[in-house]
Structure 1
Amino acid sequence: MEHSPVRISDEVRAAAADGLPILALESTIFTHGLPHPRGLETALAAEASVRGAGVVPATIGVVRGVPTVGLTSDEIERLAATDAAKVSVRDLPPAVLRRLDGGTTVAATAWLAHRAGIRVFSTGGLGGVHRGASETFDESADLGTLARTPITVVSAGVKSILDVAATLERLETLNIPVVGYRTTRYPGFYVADSGHAVEYSVDSAEEAAELARIRDALGLESAVLIANPVAADRQLDPVLHDRVLDEALAAAGSAGVTGHDITPFLLDHLQRATGGESLEVNLEVYRGNVALGAEIARAIAG
């Protein structure tokens, strides 16, 4: 890491050297995914819960052009309150050059975490293949990065506004293992069951940790994706979800919204149409993934 523009906090660096459990956390959830100050509150609460579980939190972001693994509370507050850029892996060089503040996506967070020696990363939902991608070629950079980054990622699947079936096909093509946590039904972020199955499951954090060890022993380079569904009694009502999603897709089509604008458009429509309920489910999903990620980090370190 000598001469690298990446800064790793002293706490994270020492924990990695000592083999202590560390959990990576992304920053786009509080720079782009949640409204201020809910995003800031969520980020600080996640760090506190990880510490309470005996794990070192490593929130990752870009501060004044410095990709940072292990943001301080002041740095988290800065990113949450500023008009931060959304930084994926391809955006890191320009962000460094222009000294930008940025929230890191799943792709950039996973890449920086692995570079710092972190083995587990918790997020809300993954990026994937967008609806209509056969014409637009709109596919998240998360997928390509996860295909070559050996880290364990805990998520609640991909958001249901994406093409879930096509995303699962793409993950298979990229040789990225997708494993349900105590389920063989692939979660749809806001709902526990997207309507699609996964072939494998694990029943405990210890099994997830052993899966990562086997991946490493085989010399495979891809991430292992642990699909952790929201509890059925905390999910968005599936009937409401399907109706509102159909309405959101129709509204986007009528408004001519395409490309990178469609995801925020659809998520905003879902939030307004559900009276904020989708936002509360989003938070429930994230808390659950952070808790499971901390368990897996302890099991891997142990």
Structure 2
Amino acid sequence: MSIAVAPEVAAALARGGAVVALESTIICHGMPYPKNLQTAVEVEAVVRDGGAIPATIAILDGVPHVGLSSEQLKRMAISGRQFQKTARRDIAHVVGIPIFVTGGIGGVHRHGEQTMDISSDLTELGKTPVAVISAGVKSILDIPRTLEYLETQGVTVAAYRTNEFPSFFTEISGCQNAYIRTWALFGTWGTFPVELKSFLVPCRVDSPEECAKIIHANKNLDLGSGILIAVPIPTQDAASGNLIESAIQKALKEAEEKRIIGNAITPFMLERVKELTGGSSLEANIALVKNNARLGAEIAVALSNLQKKGKNRMGRSAL
């Protein structure tokens, strides 16, 4: 199958420039039109402002596209859920883009030990050498089991300027543990007094340059697995995090009562949480995606500079 690579993306890759892959799911499944189109354009602008070339990924008319035109972005935004969500995200890696920005990756669903509902994102990260920049995993998931699964897959997990794995809408993940444990202890959701536990990451990075060094080393070692760099949502945008987390718990309870499982649970949860929070979850989602894109661009530039320095040193040595 041929892959359509946008000219500016191909040119940037050919000269070893900074390129950031972006998902298209958020355009079709994440929010309504025209908010989705506005967000897609703004996220691409954030990447450009950071000195990198954005490459939004989508399959159009049966052909994988790496980098979309404004007309193609609008087509996807208007069509929305007529576009089907695909399971594999390694098209960007196939054409040589090492960095992928998204909101939050999938993971082990809550009660996954019973349902075995585990996102293919995790196994994909285990076999695809791409660095994913996200706000952790979606907060409707089971964070500790997701981290355990990533370890099993050999995925390097790092957090940006923090020691604790973030929980998408909130900067920390400890608050989620209370709800998970109350279910285990009492068989129902509730805010029972339990000890909170933070989910620490094995690696902390404090600059785009540090991130670039890890990505560069992973490539040179030819490990074959990916890297997850978790970026906490900005403090000013996490102010409503507790409200959103409460809405998530309510929506989870409703989903269980209605026996909504499998692929149907994520769209139900996103829509219900948006309703319960009066739309604040949508605004927080947009803010964290832009924040991830900003850092992704900085890492892409740092990685490009690092690789160019390496090539220059090799060239001088050859002389």
Change over 3 Å in CA distance of 1:58–1:239 after alignment to 2: closer
Which residue of 1 is the match for residue 22 of structure 2? 25
CA distance in 1, matches of 2:291, 2:46: 11
Single out whichever of 245-254 and 182-191 deviates more from structure 2.
Answer: 245-254
SS in structure 1 at match of 2:128: coil
For residues 244 and 41 of structure 1, what CA distance do their matches in structure 2 show?
Answer: 26
Preserved contact between residue 127 and residue 143 of structure 1 (Cα < 8 Å) = yes
TM-score, normalising length from structure 1? 0.90
- Distance in 2 between the 1:58 and 1:236 partners? 31
Instruction: Identify the residue that residue 45 of structure 1 maps to in structure 2.
Output: 42
Indicate conservation of the 8 Å contact 1:179/1:227, yes or no.
Answer: yes
Indicate the residue corresponding to 1:144 in structure 2. Answer: 123
Q: State the match for 2:76 in structure 1.
A: 79
Kindly provide the amino acid, as one letter, of the partner of residue 60 in structure 2. Answer: V
Find the counterpart in structure 2 of residue 105 from structure 1.
none
Query: After superposition, where does 1:62-101 map in structure 2 within 5 Å?
Result: 62-82=59-79, 83-89=82-88
89, 98, 110: which is aligned to 1:119? 98
Structure 1 contact 190–236 (Cα < 8 Å) conserved: no
SS in 2 for 1:193: coil
Query: Which residue, 281, 285, 291 being the options, matches 1:278?
Result: 281
Deviates more, 1:133-142 or 1:184-193: 133-142
Q: AA paired with 1:178? A: V
3-state SS of the aligned residue for 1:153? strand
Partner of 1:258: 261
Amino acid at match of 1:51: R
Q: Distance in 2 between matches of 1:245 and 1:8?
A: 38
| Offset, 1:9 | 1.6
Instruction: Single out whichever of 171-180 and 217-226 deviates more from structure 2.
Output: 217-226
1:155 matched to 2:154: no
**SS class of match (2:236):** coil
- Report what 2:236 is aligned to: 233
Shift of the 242–57 alpha-carbon distance from structure 1 to 2, 3 Å rule, reads closer
Report the Cα offset of residue 5 of structure 1. 2.3
Q: Which runs of 5+ in 2 are unaligned?
A: 175-198, 306-319
Deviation at residue 252 of structure 1 after TM alignment:
0.8
CA RMSD of superposed structures (Å): 1.2
Question: Is the Cα–Cα contact under 8 Å of residues 170 and 242 in structure 2 kept in the other structure?
Answer: no
Match of 1:59 among 53, 56, 60: 56
Higher-strand-fraction structure: 1
Structure number with the bigger relative contact order (C-alpha 8 A, sep ≥ 6) is 2
- Say if 2:12 is the partner of 1:9: no
After superposition, give the CA deviation of every residue in 1:138-171 in whole Å (9 maximum; x if it has no partner): 1111111111111111000011111111100000
Contact 1:236-1:281 within 8 A present in 2 as well = no
Q: Among 236, 249, 252, which residue is 1:249 paired with?
A: 252
Q: CA deviation at 1:208?
A: 0.2
* TM-score normalised by the chain length of structure 2: 0.85
Q: Considering only CA atoms, is the larger Rg found in Structure 1 or Structure 2?
A: 2
C-alpha separation in 2, matches of 1:149 and 1:112: 10
Residue type of the alignment partner of 1:227: A
TM-superposed deviation, 1:236 = 4.8
1:224 corresponds to which residue?
A: 227
- Determine what percentage of the aligned residue pairs are the same residue: 44
